[in-house]
Amino acid sequence: MGRLGVVLFNLGGPDSPEAVEPFLFNLFNDPAIIGLPGVLRWPLAKFISRRRAPVATEIYRHLGGKSPLLEETEAQAEALGHALAEYLGEGADKVRVFIAMRYWHPMTAATVSAVKAFNPDNIVLLPLYPQFSTTSTGSSIKEWRRVAAAQGLAAPTRTVCCYPVEQGYIESLAGLVRPAIEAAQKHGRFRVLFSAHGLPEKIIAKGDPYSWQIEATAGALVKALSVAGLDHAVCFQSRVGRLKWIGPSLDDEIERAAMDGVAVVVVPIAFVSEHSETLVELDIEYRDMAEKLGVPAYIRVPAIGVETTFISALARIAAFALKDGALKGDTQTCSAAGGRQCPAVHGQCPL
């Protein structure tokens, strides 16, 4: 097989209070987030990032002034490197896992340079987003290809687009949810809320498969939990701006739980690492909301992190991408299941 470089895609996060505004600018200046021409997007991104920086800085103050996402991702990369070398039967010097953050360091250009210096025989691009969206995985893939071409990184590259129902991913989630359900049962009736980062409806209307894949993950997880008559709902968080976003929102579901008098188990179904959306939004803001509304209990399930079953699943997915039969079309792209899983109506599916 030769030398293998695996690149983990993630969002990134500010590493200091001073980095908050430039991080937000990089986010909102991404054409996958705001689809205006550059001459209009740039000043709008400057305006939004400047306006939102004080609020975001306060959020990160709860986390010591910076995002923990890089350290979380580094731990996952280290665990994956060991698991993948063992899975492939290769020495640790033959397999190296890199991190490419989309909006803060280490950003794509630096990672392409590091991968090029490693001189791999094959590259696998592996998102830490289980569900595909043009705004996350799609944006990271597009940026990688642009920068790799500019820097002359020519090693054969295979891309994994998604793994929304991969068995190891689902098993890892189920293993974390079961103890939370046991705790919730002590409070009588309860409801499991599968929460994912939201998107504007107009992005889904253009054929983005994200919400369909979130529903697929939730369905697979409910089946794996095997709890008769499980009361559950899929909902979305982290709404910003004035556009209409996909729903129901987590706010709406917490209000409904309060009216119904049921405890809630909140599962971050699309986040595989702890960061501001889990540690601040879920653990502080939504918990406070639930308590004020009188929800009998609010139990938050942790993100997967370096759960062994999940890391082993990532190793299998990366190894699968190296198989010639896994790749579909000229893009050298596959899902964890090989071919396309999304219905034809989702035209932004990369397969």
Residue 141 and residue 49 in contact, taking contact as beta carbons nearer than 8 Å? no
Taking CA atoms, 312 is separated from 12, 154, 347, in Å, by: 23, 28, 31
Q: Give residue 339's pLDDT.
A: 87
pLDDT value of position 331:
66
Q: What's the pLDDT band for 326 if we cut at 50, 70, 90?
A: low
Looking at the predicted structure, is the pLDDT value of residue 344 above 70?
Answer: yes
- CA–CA dist 57, 238 (Å, integer): 16
SS3 of residue 341 by DSSP:
coil
**pLDDT (mean) for 332-341:** 88
Residue 303 belongs to what H/E stretch?
none
95 SS3 class: strand
Q: Where does the pLDDT of residue 325 fall: very low under 50, low under 70, confident under 90, or very high at 90 and above?
A: low
CA–CA dist 73, 83 (Å, integer): 15
pLDDT at 329 > cutoff 70 = no
Query: Residue range 250-270: average pLDDT?
Result: 97
Question: pLDDT per residue over 172-231, tens digit each?
Answer: 999 999 999 999 999 999 999 999 999 999 999 999 999 999 999 999 999 999 999 999
pLDDT grade for 28, boundaries at 50, 70 and 90: very high
Percent of the chain with pLDDT over 70: 98
CATH 3.40.50.1400 residue spans of the chain = 167-300
Report the pLDDT value the prediction gives residue 200, as an integer from 0 to 100. 94
pLDDT-wise least confident of 57-61, 90-94, 304-308: 90-94
Q: What angle do CA 183, 185, 189 make, to 5 degrees?
A: 135
Mean of pLDDT over the chain: 95
Burial class (CB in 10 A: 0-12, 13-18, 19+), 247: middle
Tell me the Cα Rg of the chain. Answer: 20
| Cα–Cα dist 113/119, whole Å | 10
Q: What band does 130 get if pLDDT is binned at 50, 70 and 90?
A: very high
- Region 112-134: what's the mean pLDDT? 97
Q: What is the mean pLDDT of residues 283-305?
A: 98
167-300 fold = Rossmann fold (3.40.50)
Cβ 329 vs Cβ 338: under 8 Å: no
Residue 210 confidence (pLDDT) = 98
pLDDT (0 to 100) of residue 332: 86
Residue 17 clears pLDDT 80, i.e. is over it: yes
Residue 327 pLDDT > 70:
no
